[in-house]
Structure 1
Amino acid sequence: MSSARLLTITLLALLLAPAPAVASPRSSQTVKPVMACSDVTSITLPGVTWKSATVSSEGAPAPYCAVEGTIAPANTIVMRLPVNGWTRRYLQTGCGGLCGSSRINYTQAASCAPIADGTIASATTDMGHQGQNDGSWAAGNPQALIDFAYRGVHVTAQVAKAVIQRFYGRAPVYSYFSGCSDGGREALMEAQRYPDDFDGIIAGAPANNLVVQNTFHHAWNVLANKDADGKYILLADKLPLIHAAVMARCDGIDGLVDGVLDDPRNCRFDPASLICADMSRCLTADQADVVRKLHDGATDGHGNSLEQEISHEWGSELDWTLFVPAAQGQVTFSENIALSFLRYLAYRNVADPDYQLSDLKFTVASFWKTVQTSDYLSATDPDLRRFRASGGKLLLWHGWSDQHISPQATLQYYDSIKPSGFARLYMFPGLAHCSAGLGPNSFDILTPMLNWVEKGTSPGAVIATNGSRSRPVYPYPKVARYDGTGSTDDAANFVPVTPQRESSVGYKWLGAGLYSHGYQAGCRVVDGRLVCTALRR
């Protein structure tokens, strides 16, 4: 039996031991540790090696036991265990990009009470490797690929809960996961593969369709903007011009000229309207064509869409610097992430450090060859019956102005799971990838989840702010509409409205079937190679 499977079975036995019934945690009911912080390193768990356990207050409002260790073979685990009082809640956070980082991130939960007062136990992991976005860590390291795909987050949850049980003498009453970008993919992987790990899961801007995103999507961002000589056609100095034209055309569609689009799918902007001879205020025909291609997304030579129908929503143009450079010769994020993935992760058991973007063919045959790897890396399985049956709650959220991951990927997933009482989706107008953007972009998404899981209070409006400006965001498909009184910068002056017409944008693209049950695979290492088979459950 492999060491990884032995670890999973042993930890599962520890975690399934009977625990006494307890009341829901309250801010006034806190638990103290039953052991010294330094003694955490004496806790013996199979496959776990401890590096350190020391009391710290760095980056937190209250002191905590900072724990670091390794879960075999190479999953770094980092924990924060409150030493002055714990409310019996556990929060695990995800990491972005290709991970390789074990920094606990509370970006979208800073104002949540258990985070603000330092009473929540938390953990995270680098998901099995210490490399980052160059992808080279995956070469010849199939176990790292399994841990990055799904195992690392799961075993971290198991180990963290076992440590919490020993440190406080009690298990968590409620367990939560929150992540954005790849952290959002990790969140969905947990709901799909390990439905009993968490009571509430928050998936922000999830990279659920990871393989298509990091191959055809990002490669198209670069190649669609190059001429026959390999030079960029559109440079970043034109982005403010394009954005201004989009907003002039579409900002008022939602009844309020406020600098953001509450549903960019309703914007009918034609880049050709910017073609004229005055280059100080216009685009060339070639530049306008690039803008259209960047909005519409990757296609083959016959017009078949190789990604969701909208790749970059109108209104997000100012953040297209992710893939539109300021000058010739610059290498953009899109080029780096696509090359990293295509060289080391896109093709199973193949590492090709010399691979170039021009080697990727935008054809139907190439598409299906490439996405064969999706079956273990992507989190597109809509079958969440086990998660729902366990009482789990899912909150999805995405920014309409996300320049990195298309909001359409989250919309398609949400529609695929046929949500009822256990899932909600929030679409934030003007929000860029995970943060920033022109709209209200700071919000607390964790408190609604706590109230939903612990009190049964269904999530309603989430108030997002940007400086003195605030705006409610309602569960999709509801949108916020100004009620005609008071300041348009005050969330109190908006009401929820369900649009009478559904968007005409659908999911007519080559990989639509990837969002189906039975597609996911589980993997193991055999003779140094990754071997994957379809999951059966």
Structure 2
Amino acid sequence: MRHRPAPLLLTVVLTALLAATGTAAFASGPRVTPDGLADLPALPPVMTCADVTGLDLGGVTDAPVTLKTATVVTTGAAPYCEVRGTIAPANTIVVRLPIDGWTQRYVQAGCGGLCGMANLNYPQASTCPVIADGTVAGATTDMGHQGQNDGSWAAGNPQAQIDFAYRGVHVTSQVAKAIITKFYGRQPVYSYFDGCSDGGREALMEAQRYPHDFDGIAAGAPASNMALQNTFHHAWNVYANLDADGKYILLSNKLPLIHAAVLAACDTIDGLRDGLVDDPRLCHFNPASIVCTTGQDSATCLTSAEATVVRKLHDGATDEHGNRLEPAIAHEWSSELDWTLFIPAAQGQTVGSEMFALSYLRYLAQPNNPNPDYKLSDLKFTVASFWKTMLPSTTYMAAIDPDLSAFQRAGGKLLLWHGWNDQHISPQGTMDYYDTMRTTMGAATVDRFAKLYLFPGVAHCGGGEGPNTFDILTPVMAWTESGRKPTRIVASNIAGGAVTRTRPVFPYPAVARYDGTGSIDDAANFVAYTPENPVRNDYRWVGQALYSHGYQTWPKAVDGKLVIQPFTTRH
């Protein structure tokens, strides 16, 4: 992170001044592309791909490194050397090294779910020019275990738990950058991390625990509070929809009906009827408004019990006294079409949320006491149960420390983003984290290094009805390399290979507003608008104290057990 050229913004300004006076442009110092990226010369390798497996990487990180294969791959935008290896004890890594020319950048990709697979891709950065043309070096890791995304890998394997929590990503960055340096004879000028879902958690963990690993970070839909996400949040998705006999109350055939009712009530809040709710917090839909009346066809309405389920799913987990066990609003209005994650099509089906919750509750919630027989009904929605379930793993698994002073002082740039219609992870948690950062560090300080983007109609890490194709990485790079602050990000709907709609998304709390001229499907016809009275999020919930500095611990694997330093919090 420390090997940067002279400040590019100053170079650009001086170059412009010299040009204006008829003086030749700077012969030294990097130029800037129209995208705001440093125009860095492409470098060839100084060794062959086949020789990479013979590199001596002793001392690069805290454990031995074994490079198993190095293969030239010619498919894709440009040929590259694909290196596969292991960082002890079991972190599989994949590194890609451009052969025809490397533009001196390193981009590490995050991993989703509970990981277990090392697949290198950049889902929300594929249109980033240096990703698309194959000129960046990249890497990823399976985070210390292979296969079995059900959490069983964690049983009796404390080091795998540590590697999944935070170590795997860090040591991968160390090893990948060492390989890059030897392969090209030069260290990366800029290093970036791009991840979504658990990859977003990994991104924030890097900024919090290892602030010098990356110059710029893109963190999408972060599962930052994983201990909450994969316990009470997903368990509530199931629990709220069961009757006294354990049968589902609401089935997925009613979701289009609910969604249509939400749009009828809230689509035009932003002044347009376009099938999108640009800020669902302004939508005050009441599910009781579509409860069946006498004689009404049941296919066109909800029963009272179904309406109650819809309300519970929107509001989120509580105990019997109304104490919130997660931030308010677990699923935003207008996200209903994607609730198939936890609303089944028929009785007897096992929904995704149940599998997510049981994977964590059985093997990760109590790190030294796995319980493969744990049932979802064993989880009690009480305040006492909340702390008993959360604390054992939160201190090393969660990435919710709002003090990023070390990352900010190192010159790091952070771009957070979330889809408003995320069916897995509520955007409320990301807003909670961002707003707590601003409270902790000061709004002016945070504005200098971090931005948050909320994408209307976009589901978890992409998809959804809203414009869901966008480049999230170029703005981070431009901010890092030339000081160009992120402004609007243009998102597109693409159908049959053709763009059908584009919309700008502006840094939170600004939203896009139609300027009154031209097509509403053209981003050029929208401007930024910051409400005079922005919506104030309600962050009153049982675990709010967890968003604090100093809660993170550094556990050790000792004799098959995870040894965690004691931690207490106010509750």
Task: Indicate the residue corresponding to 2:399 in structure 1.
Answer: 379
Deviation at 1:219, TM superposition (A): 0.4
| Letter aligned with residue 107 of structure 1 | P
1:393 to 387, 409, 413: 413
Whether the 8 Å contact between 2:38 and 2:481 is mirrored in structure 1 is: no
Structure 1 segment 458-537 matched on structure 2, within 5 A: 458-467=485-494, 468-533=500-565
Is 1:136 matched with 2:145?
A: no
Whether the 8 Å contact between 1:133 and 1:337 is mirrored in structure 2 is: no
Check 1:391–1:207 CA distance in 2 against 1; reply closer, same or farther (3 A cut). Answer: same
Task: Indicate the residue corresponding to 2:339 in structure 1.
Answer: 320
Check 1:20–1:326 CA distance in 2 against 1; reply closer, same or farther (3 A cut). Answer: closer
Deviation at 1:276, TM superposition (A): 1.2
Structure 1 segment 11-410 matched on structure 2, within 5 A: 24=30, 26-27=38-39, 29-46=41-58, 47-58=64-75, 60-277=76-293, 278=296, 279-372=298-391, 373-410=393-430
Question: How big is each residue's C-alpha offset from its partner over 1:487-513, in whole Å with a ceiling of 9 and x where there is no partner?
Answer: 000000000000111214311110111
Is 1:415 matched with 2:438?
A: no
Query: Does 41-50 or 284-293 show the bigger shift?
Result: 41-50
| Letter aligned with residue 319 of structure 2 | D
RMSD: 1.5
Whether the 8 Å contact between 1:101 and 1:130 is mirrored in structure 2 is: yes
Whether the 8 Å contact between 1:26 and 1:87 is mirrored in structure 2 is: no
Question: How big is each residue's C-alpha offset from its partner over 1:267-325, in whole Å with a ceiling of 9 and x where there is no partner?
Answer: 00111111114212111100000000000000001100000100000000000000000
Deviation at 1:26, TM superposition (A): 4.7
Question: How big is each residue's C-alpha offset from its partner over 1:143-164, in whole Å with a ceiling of 9 and x where there is no partner?
Answer: 0000000000000000001001
Task: Indicate the residue corresponding to 2:469 in structure 1.
Answer: 442
Whether the 8 Å contact between 1:461 and 1:475 is mirrored in structure 2 is: yes
Task: Indicate the residue corresponding to 2:442 in structure 1.
Answer: none
SS state at 1:86 partner = coil
| Letter aligned with residue 564 of structure 2 | C
Counterpart Cα distance in 2 of 1:99 and 1:500: 42
SS state at 2:528 partner = strand
Counterpart Cα distance in 1 of 2:554 and 2:353: 29
| Letter aligned with residue 235 of structure 2 | A
Deviation at 1:106, TM superposition (A): 1.4
SS state at 2:193 partner = strand
Deviation at 1:348, TM superposition (A): 2.3
| Letter aligned with residue 391 of structure 1 | G
List gaps (5 residues or longer) in structure 2.
Answer: 7-27, 31-36, 59-63, 439-445, 495-499
Task: Indicate the residue corresponding to 1:4 in structure 2.
Answer: none
Normalising by structure 2, we get a TM-score of: 0.89
Counterpart Cα distance in 2 of 1:199 and 1:445: 15
| Letter aligned with residue 274 of structure 2 | D
| Letter aligned with residue 512 of structure 2 | A
Query: Does 402-411 or 19-28 show the bigger shift?
Result: 19-28
Whether the 8 Å contact between 1:522 and 1:534 is mirrored in structure 2 is: no
Deviation at 1:33, TM superposition (A): 0.3
Task: Indicate the residue corresponding to 2:459 in structure 1.
Answer: 432
Task: Indicate the residue corresponding to 1:10 in structure 2.
Answer: none
Normalising by structure 1, we get a TM-score of: 0.95
| Letter aligned with residue 120 of structure 1 | V
SS state at 2:41 partner = coil
Counterpart Cα distance in 2 of 1:441 and 1:420: 25
SS state at 2:124 partner = helix
Check 1:28–1:140 CA distance in 2 against 1; reply closer, same or farther (3 A cut). Answer: closer
Deviation at 1:57, TM superposition (A): 2.5
Check 1:133–1:38 CA distance in 2 against 1; reply closer, same or farther (3 A cut). Answer: same
SS state at 2:108 partner = strand
List gaps (5 residues or longer) in structure 1.
Answer: 1-14
Whether the 8 Å contact between 1:54 and 1:66 is mirrored in structure 2 is: yes
Question: How big is each residue's C-alpha offset from its partner over 1:178-208, in whole Å with a ceiling of 9 and x where there is no partner?
Answer: 0000000000000000000000011000000
Whether the 8 Å contact between 2:231 and 2:361 is mirrored in structure 1 is: yes
Give me the identity figure in percent: 66
| Letter aligned with residue 350 of structure 1 | N
SS state at 1:375 partner = helix
SS state at 2:564 partner = strand
Counterpart Cα distance in 1 of 2:151 and 2:403: 30
Counterpart Cα distance in 2 of 1:20 and 1:168: 17
Whether the 8 Å contact between 1:519 and 1:534 is mirrored in structure 2 is: no
SS state at 1:417 partner = helix
Counterpart Cα distance in 1 of 2:168 and 2:515: 47
Counterpart Cα distance in 1 of 2:389 and 2:144: 23
Q: In the comparison of the two structures, how many residue pairs are matched?
A: 519
Counterpart Cα distance in 1 of 2:472 and 2:54: 36
Question: How big is each residue's C-alpha offset from its partner over 1:358-384, in whole Å with a ceiling of 9 and x where there is no partner?
Answer: 000000000001111211000000010
Counterpart Cα distance in 1 of 2:564 and 2:241: 36
Whether the 8 Å contact between 2:158 and 2:367 is mirrored in structure 1 is: no
Question: How big is each residue's C-alpha offset from its partner over 1:223-278, in whole Å with a ceiling of 9 and x where there is no partner?
Answer: 11001111000000000000000000001011111111111001001111111142
SS state at 2:51 partner = helix
Counterpart Cα distance in 2 of 1:182 and 1:321: 20
Counterpart Cα distance in 2 of 1:522 and 1:315: 40
SS state at 2:262 partner = helix
Check 1:366–1:33 CA distance in 2 against 1; reply closer, same or farther (3 A cut). Answer: same
